[in-house]
Amino acid sequence: MMDVPNRNALYVPPFPRRTAGPVPVWRGFFGERARTAVYGWSQRAFELDYFKRNVFGHNVHIPLHPDLVQHVLLDNAANYVKPDLVKKLLVPTIGRGLLSSDGPLWREQRRIVAANFAPAAVDTLVPAFAGAASAAAEGWDRGGVRDMAAEATATTMRVISDTLFAGDPRLTTDAAMAHITAALEGVSEARLQVLLGLPLIPLSLRGLAGRRGQRFLRSTLTAVVRDRLPDGGPDDFLGKLIRALNERFEPREALALAVDNAATFYLAGHETTANAVTWALFLLSEQAELQEQTAQEARKAIAVGSQDPELPDRLPLLRRLLEESLRLYPPVPRFDRQAVEADRIGESEVAPGDFISIWPWLIHRHCKLWDEPDAFDPDRFAAGRVERHRFQYLPFGGGPRLCVGARFAMAEALTVLAHWLARWRFQPVPGREVRPSGMVTLRPAGGLPLRISPVSSG
């Protein structure tokens, strides 16, 4: 970790040390850099418009200027698909669901699920978000030190289960939570094997736990889907999904895609949002005065109506804070594409098969795009502030593959945070360092223990 001068008294939360010179590619496969995507960057990576690397014979383009990012994600999006290597890594867990498919299959699936995530549909879910937040806090008794990362994960897992899978209890057990964490951690090991073209055989205890997690997830969700056959059951996300797939695909394919999408939405829908809530709580725990202001805003908003669809809209300060938190600690710090045909990204030639890595972590802290990029300043997101390029802030990606759950995630995170802040105070545990960790999603290493106390106790 590195201390940065605190100019203009803005708070600078911790971020990994940057080297002065370039970092060799092989470093990416050893030590902390192999476990955490945001480690081992040089300062140059936060200053250039574009750079290129060669990783085991693969060209990897890293566009950082928002115009170049827009070219890949929007203007020529049809030429940039999900990489085969990423699919190989993800298919055992999420199959050919929305996140890991391309072309007509992706388009068809996106059309099927889109209505569930339209603003009006998300609005109806606010009571479920509020209910899960309150249920979690009921177990906190009079406070003490709690791992708020685990609390956030249990809460968002419950939200996904309640809102998309009619509250199926098989999806919210402690075992389910442990298996999913293991499955995500197993991906960093598998990543090296996939890059080297090796078979996906677990090589370590972590890899084995990952494989067990993956199998648990697939078998549990297959059982959940099978129990809904033949007609899909209740008219919720899963029921609608099963019925729509049955209409468009033959039965075996429809069943496979239903399980793939159940796994996709279960995973993509809770881990990221849990990290967003966790980082926001971390930033608030470090800034008592700001926490008090957001808590007051939350109490007022909840007094008007604790579960009504407009609750997230009555939290402008908390929203700015969450947006800034998603800038500084994007839960998805990088995502990738692969070129179908030859193209140019700015001045650089792209060959068919080349990889393009989009790095919210680098773009969100880029020196040319932000004033004091590493400093926490929620007012960057205040109405009327300097116009931003829409591809310089990408916590939810961009273009046609923009996160389908973005509105769901924002409404959920705001509702959960408001309910918790209104009644609880969160303080850091002295002497404990918080550092980002994770290859696929970004979370605090070892969780986020915070000292919590009920607001009424003063």
DSSP 293: H
Helix segments in 227-250, DSSP class H:
237-248
Q: Which is nearer to ligand HEM, 189 or 271 (CB)?
A: 271
- Considering the rule CB under 6 A, would residue 44 count as an interface residue with ligand HEM? no
Q: Which is nearer to ligand HEM, 239 or 397 (CB)?
A: 397
**Of 268, 339, 363, 416, the one binding ligand HEM by CB under 6 A:** 268
Question: Which residue number is nearest to ligand HEM in terms of Cβ?
Answer: 405
Near ligand HEM by CB under 6 A, which window of 178-186, 224-232, 306-314, 396-404?
396-404
Residue 397 · residue 73 · CB < 8 Å: yes
Closest CA to 422 of 305, 264, 271: 305
The alpha carbon dihedral of 295, 296, 301, 306 has a sign of positive
Near ligand HEM by CB under 6 A, which window of 61-69, 200-208, 294-302, 401-409?
401-409
Binders in 204-233 for ligand HEM, by CB under 6 A: none
- Considering the rule CB under 6 A, would residue 257 count as an interface residue with ligand HEM? no
Near ligand HEM by CB under 6 A, which window of 185-193, 242-250, 251-259, 331-339?
331-339
- Considering the rule CB under 6 A, would residue 263 count as an interface residue with ligand HEM? no
**Of 39, 396, 424, 426, the one binding ligand HEM by CB under 6 A:** 396
Widest Cα–Cα separation across the chain: 64
**Of 397, 427, 428, 454, the one binding ligand HEM by CB under 6 A:** 397
Closest approach, Cβ 142 to ligand HEM, in A, equals: 30
Q: Is the peptide bond before 378 cis (omega within 30 degrees of 0)?
A: no
Closest approach, Cβ 276 to ligand HEM, in A, equals: 4
**Of 36, 93, 161, 272, the one binding ligand HEM by CB under 6 A:** 272
Question: What does R_g of the chain's alpha carbons equal in angstroms?
Answer: 22
Binders in 111-170 for ligand HEM, by CB under 6 A: none
Element of type H or E holding 268? helix 251-285
List CB contacts of 446: < 8 A, sequence separation 6 or more.
437
List CB contacts of 63: < 8 A, sequence separation 6 or more.
49, 50, 69, 71, 72, 345, 346, 356, 358
Q: In whole angstroms, give the CA distance from residue 49 to residue 25.
A: 19
Record the tokens describing residue 307, joined without a space.
């579960």
Q: In whole angstroms, give the CA distance from residue 389 to residue 391.
A: 5
The alpha carbon dihedral of 116, 118, 120, 123 has a sign of positive
Q: Which is nearer to ligand HEM, 48 or 74 (CB)?
A: 74
**Of 401, 419, 423, 443, the one binding ligand HEM by CB under 6 A:** 401
Q: Which residues bind ligand HEM (CB under 6 A)?
A: 98-99, 110, 264-265, 268-269, 272-273, 276, 331-332, 335, 395-397, 401, 403-405, 408-409
